[in-house]
A and B are shown apart, each in its own frame.
Chain A
Amino acid sequence: MTELTLPAAFADLAPWLDWALPTADGRQDRRLASTSDTLRRFYDAVLPRLEDILAEVDKHPLGQLPAALRPLYDIALSLAEVAPHIELYDGAVGVPYAFEEGRFIAVHGGEPTWSTPQPMMTPAP
C-alpha cells in the first residue's frame, strides 16, 4: 500500500490518516474498534476543518476526485460516521441500546464511497 498523504493546507490532520478509509464498512469497523477518547479527539480535530475539506473536494466534479484528495475526503466521511457518537451518544463507540452492529449488512458497505456508484445495487457482471 502506498503512503497516504494530505494536501499541504490540511497537514494538521496527518495524525488522523489512519481514519482515511474509503469504504463505509472500514469506517464503521474502525469506529467500533476505537475508544471513546480517540473518537472525541478525532471529532475535535476534524470538525473545525470540515467546511474547508468540503470546499476543497467540491473543486472537483462528483466521482472524479483526484487520488491525492481521497484520503482527505475519507477522513471527512469518517467524521460523518463518528459524529453521532460524540454529538448524541456521549462518546459511546457503539450505538447505545441497539441491535448488534456486526449483524447489519450494508449492501453498499464494501464500495469506495468517493466513486459514488449507485450504492443500492451490486454491480452487475
Chain B
Amino acid sequence: MNAEHRWLEAYPELGSGPISTEPYISPEWYEKEKEKIFSKVWLCVGRANELPRPGDYKVKRIEAANTSVIVMRGKDGQIRAFHNMCAHRGNTVVTENGQETYGRNRAGVITCRFHGWVYAADGALRSVPSQERFYSCFDKGDNGLAPIHLDTWEGFLFVNVAEKPEHSLAEFLGDYAEHFRGFPFEELDYGFTYRTELDCNWKVAHDAFAEAYHVDTIHAGSFPNVFSSGLQNVKLMGPHRTCAVCLTLDAKPTPVAGIANRIAGASLVSQRGKSMLPATINPDHRPDFAFELSVLFPNTLLHVSEGIWFTHQFWPLAHNRTLWEGRYYVKAPTSNAGRWAIEHAMTLQRNAWLEDTATMEDTQRAMQSRAKMQQHLQDDEILIRHGAIIVDQYVNA
C-alpha cells in the first residue's frame, strides 16, 4: 500500500486524473446545476431555534432555485415553508431586506404589503380586502401560499422546491445523518454569522474550504505552526462526504489567546477533550484531531469539534457569483468574561475566513482566462474530487 495515495486506494472508483475547470466557468453548466441540483435536492435553510415562537418567520432567498422561501412557525408549533409570492399579482408577501429576512407576527399571519391580502401560517388565504369585487371564478380556498416541502434533521431546516422530491430527507441524508447523530448541536446554540458575495463559482468556494492542504500557507498568519498531519477517516456517503482534519495543537498560545482559551475554549486552535463527539467522529481518539470537515451536498459544509460547530454555505447567484455565509456556534456564555473570550475566538475565526476567501476571486478570474482547462488534485484533496464527480453525475443524469 502506498501511504501517499491512501484515499485513491480506498476509493479507486473516483479515479486520479485531472478535473475539468469547465463546470466552474460555464454559464450553460450553471443553468443545468440550477435545474438538476438546486431545484431537486434538499437544501439547508437554517435552524428551528431561529424561529422559537409561533408567528416567527424567516425568508431565505434561493436564487439557484429561482425563489425565495418563507419558513414560518405556526400557532400549532409546526414549521412550514412557502414560496414568497402572493396569489394576487405576484408581489413578495414578506418584503425582504436582503438574503435573509427575519420577522414575527404575533397573530401568526403574514400580510402582503401591496394590497393587503392576509395569509395564515399554514398558507391559507385568510382575507382579501374588497373581496366582493373579484369575480365568481376566484376562490379563496385555491389561493393560499404555494407550499414547499420542509423537513428537519437535528434541528436543521431543509427545504426541497421540487413538486415531488425524489427522496425523503432521511433517504437523501442516508449515512450522513448517522455519522453526526448525537452531536449536541442544540446545546451549542450561540452563533455568529458572517456573509459576503464572492465573484466566483460556488464550487470554487466549496473547494477552497474542502481541504487542509492550504493550512500551512493560507493560514500561516492566523493559525501558525499547526503543522497539518492531513486528513483522516475520509468517508464518502452518497453525494455527501466527510473527513477529520488533524493539526498539531501543541503550539504555545499567544498571551491573549491563552487567556481566552482558558476561559472559553471556543477557538479551533485550543486543545479540547473528546467528550461530546459521537463515536463515529475521531474514532481512534487521535490527540491531533482538530475538527470534522463534512460536506452536506450540495452547498453546506458542516464542521464539528469539541464545544464548537460551524457551517459554510455557498448559495449560487450566477455561474461566477456566490453568496457565502459562515456561521460559528459555541455554548452560550454564562459570564461577561466568557462573552469576551468568545468574541476573541470569533475574531480569530473571522480572520481565518478572510484568509480563506482571499484566493477565491483570483481563482475564478484565472479560470475564466481558459489558460488552463484542468486542475490537478493530490490525494488529500479527495473531497474536491468527489464533489466534482457528484456534480457531474447530477448534471448529466
Could you list which residues of chain A lie within 8 angstroms of chain B, going by C-beta atoms?
Answer: 24, 47, 50-51, 54-55, 57-58, 60-62, 65, 73, 76-77, 79-81, 83-84, 87-89, 95-99, 101, 103-108, 113-114, 116, 118-125
Given A84-B222, A96-B221, A99-B358, the answer on whether A119 and B351 have CB atoms closer than 8 Å is no
**B191-219 Cβ-contact flags toward A at 8 Å (1 or 0):** 11111110000000000000000000010
Instruction: Pull 13 A–B residue pairs with CB atoms less than 8 Å apart, ordered by A.
Output: A57-B336, A58-B335, A62-B334, A73-B336, A73-B340, A83-B256, A87-B257, A99-B360, A104-B353, A106-B192, A107-B194, A114-B339, A119-B192
Q: Which of B232-240, B291-299, B342-350 contacts A (4 or more CB under 8 A)?
A: B342-350
Given A119-B190, A120-B50, the answer on whether A95 and B327 have CB atoms closer than 8 Å is no
| B103 interface contact, C-beta 8 A | yes
**B320-362 Cβ-contact flags toward A at 8 Å (1 or 0):** 0000000101001111111110011001101101111110100
Given A84-B222, A125-B103, the answer on whether A77 and B354 have CB atoms closer than 8 Å is no
Contact B255 A87 (CB under 8 A): yes
From residue A82, how far is it (CB to closest CB) to chain B in Å? Answer: 9
Given A50-B256, A108-B193, A119-B191, the answer on whether A99 and B354 have CB atoms closer than 8 Å is yes
CA distance A26 to B52 in the complex (A): 29
CA distance A77 to B343 in the complex (A): 7
Q: Which of A24, A58, A99 contacts B337 (CB 8 A)?
A: A58
Could you say which residues of chain B place their CB within 8 Å of the CB of A88? 221-222, 224, 254
Contact B343 A104 (CB under 8 A): no
Contact B336 A62 (CB under 8 A): yes
| B102 interface contact, C-beta 8 A | yes
